[in-house]
Chains A and B, each alone.
Chain A
Amino acid sequence: MAVEKAWTDRRIENTVGNLLRAGVSISAAVVLCGGIIYLVRHGLAPADYRIFHGEPSDLRSIRGIVWGAVHRRGRALIQLGLLLLIATPVARVAFSIVGFAEERDRMYVAFTVFVLAILVFSLVGSS
């Protein structure tokens, strides 16, 4: 029993490792593409981050970001890459639910669902 449990843990950890690596690589690639488009178009504009304005609403919502990225807007593409990056640990948590469920560990399924709920609330929650 103990051996079998350890084996499942190892298998989960391997898959999680691959998932994390893929998430980071894909998001870095998307950010890079968006960055090139952004710099080609706006590279000569002055850069000023002294005063905080907050981002426009289309770079703050998942919907707005996806719309902008589809229309190949540089800043929206970067933001999509960052969104994929934020989603990577979220996907890791979601995947762990499956792992704990396979081990029939109800307590940890509950803990993991709770953590996932916090993460989802943070991304799409009210306000």
Chain B
Amino acid sequence: MNKKGAVLILSLIVLTLSLIMTVSLTGVVSNQGRNELRQAQEAELFAAAEGGIEEIKWRFINSVHPSGWTAGIPQHQIGNCLVTVSVTGPDANNYYLATSIAGFPAGSNLTRAVAIRAIPPGFLSFSQWMFFVNNAHLTIGTGAEVWGLIHSNRNIMIYGPGTIFHNNIEAVNNILYYNGASQSNTIYYGTHIEGAGYIPMPTSSQMADLKSYAQDGGYYSSGNLTVEFISDGTVKLNGGSPQVLPSSGVIYAEREINISGTVHGQVTVVSGRTINVTNNLKYSSLAVPPAPARPDCLGLIAEQNVYLPDSAPYNLEIDAAMLSRTGKAYAGLSSAKGTLIIRGAIAADTMSYFANTSGHGYNIRKYYYDNNLINYPPPHFLPAVPGAGFKDWRDMGG
């Protein structure tokens, strides 16, 4: 039997099979590598998109970023990825939608998007009400016209006919009418609700947190402090040379603060005792339409009172969100004065007043809620509602 060539054929078969196996194995390894690379890129993109969401959340919560948050964040690099955060809204429930999209600069068409809903930070802050009173009845008198929400943890008492409320008002107890006032001669453009939920005042430890913002990135005084804002975005402290507004957004004094001037920027002024508004206190941007993307805002937080002294101007304007943790906002009532205009918000423990029934104080009082406080409350203004106000986190995929 002639077996010549059998080994050669056998060798060829074995070699061919080996070649096929090698090529197949190489292909499998290569595919596995590609898949692993893709998984790694997906993970990288996901983490970068999440980074974009964290950035916009930081801006929501802290309210100190110069660019604000409503315009989103333009394309920028996070790790190896390019991330863009867009913000749309508000929807019918006042929520904004922030969407973070991550991609690679080159070499891959993969993208990943993550989205989250956020309620404007003003709705979580004590700056959301035109009037908030905790430990007293809220008394509104003849001559008052109020724009903005009102909340009382006790009653709302309306003295005299013709008081005008442009927005919703609510009391934990009742809304009561005196001196000829009645439901029919009180003008409500919004709802008026009795039996609303109780909202507690901020705690002393939350006040103490503000001090750390002033000591690290702000201005801090262990004594009294005179604050004079300049319209170019600077501030004079105790008569010194003008300084830029603090990057942390907080100016804090352990004792009294006398304050006046024109604010250009975002800042919160905190006193361990009382803040005296000695002269007009206004925003620079209100007079220059259209309003800038990041509006001016001022927060006044006093452990005790916000006081308008007798020496304050006959006609006075205050643009600020005010909070008196254990006291009130009030005016000296030694003489009859003209018009008081407050554009902002007032939250106090006891009843705030700027006139009396004897005709002393500011006889015309106009309270305009500053709608910018909803999206841009003053930096680190104390929270009224616990929680961060985010919901509906979603992985939108590639």
A binds B: no
